[in-house]
Amino acid sequence: MELRVAFLKNKSTYTSQIKSEAKRLGFLSCGISKAEFLEDEAPRLEQWLNSNMHGEMSYMENHFDKRLDPTLLVSGSKSVISLLLNYFPSEVQREDSYKISKYAYGTDYHFVIKDKLKELLHFITSEIGDVHGRAFVDSAPVLDKAWATRSGLGWMGKHTNVLSKQVGSFYFIAELIVDLELDYDTPVTDHCGSCTACIDACPTQAIVEPYVVDGSKCISYFTIELKDEIPSSYKEQFDDWMFGCDVCQDVCPWNRFSKAHREPLFNPKPEILSYSKKEWNEITEEVFQQIFRKSPVKRTKFDGLKRNINFIK
């Protein structure tokens, strides 16, 4: 009995320490869930793939089992520590500009978050002991949104972004999967209600029904993932987005509670805020490399960005 009480006390202490350190590192919030098979998500993922809603993102078909079971990614894992990092900017682009999704204003989030996750994992191993784990920032087969909702960080909105009553949805999601048992959080309730703002506003009708997005119709897919020519049937529907799209988040009532981030690395290069359509039209590869060094926008490459601009101008 005494051993059990001591274990529960340690578990609670470890959980509190981890959440405090996550806050110190600048994470918006931290939630923890049990590392186990995502039974509810399995049929949804299978149906989404079978409906070809992933378009040419063939990597989504890989590692189906690992996407649903964290114990296949980290041997002996017991807990999924989910973390949110705010990227909502204090300033946005000028109105007469081709638009870039807000998450891509600054330094590539993979670099920023990975460093913070390494620090958090180092803290866990140094303060708690022999704990093994891995850090994940959407570049591995992990269902980030499913774990975030399981750990009570928000609910899945009708646009399939995770929503919080306190801070909306403009944040990155990342995880540490560890072989340490901790106190687990519980999901929060859905607060979308009868609102359909995101569905009504989507320029390409990619939100085919509440909580289902056809990725192959999304502007973010066309401007980032698609390597071929953009289908001409979508001409005039891009609303001036040249990289990504924020429409479904911009119209969401819960994002009126978004507050500007405090991460200097997410601050935009001046050109991103000041360039007009004319300047984007005239951009050279040399300038592209300068403005978007260590930026998520480099993923589409110079030719891809020019393709996007030529499609929407």
CB neighbour burial string for 280-296, b if at least 16 within 10 angstroms, e if fewer = beebeeeebeebbeebb
Question: Can you name the residues that pair with 163 across neighbouring β-strands?
Answer: 155
Beta strands 241-243 and 171-178 are: unpaired
Closest CA to 250 of 86, 138, 102, 149: 102
Structure tokens that stand for 305 in this block: 């960005």
Structure tokens that stand for 162 in this block: 């995770």
Beta carbons of 100 and 288 less than 8 angstroms apart: no
Q: How far apart are the C-alpha atoms of 33 and 146, rounded to whole Å?
A: 10
- Residue of 115, 130, 138, 240 with catalytic role: 138
Closest CA to 273 of 105, 52, 35, 87: 105
H/E run at residue 287: helix 285-291
Beta carbons of 109 and 296 less than 8 angstroms apart: yes
Q: Is 135 helix (H, G, I), strand (E, B) or coil?
A: strand
CA dihedral for 216, 217, 220, 222, sign (positive or negative): positive
Q: DSSP secondary structure string, 197-221?
A: HHHHH-TT--EEETTEE-GGG-HHI
Beta carbons of 177 and 35 less than 8 angstroms apart: yes
Burial level of 264, CB count in 10 A (0-12/13-18/19+)?
Answer: exposed
Does residue 138 have an active-site annotation? yes
Q: How far apart are the C-alpha atoms of 102 and 162, rounded to whole Å?
A: 16
Q: How far apart are the C-alpha atoms of 207 and 221, rounded to whole Å?
A: 13
Residues with active-site annotation: 138
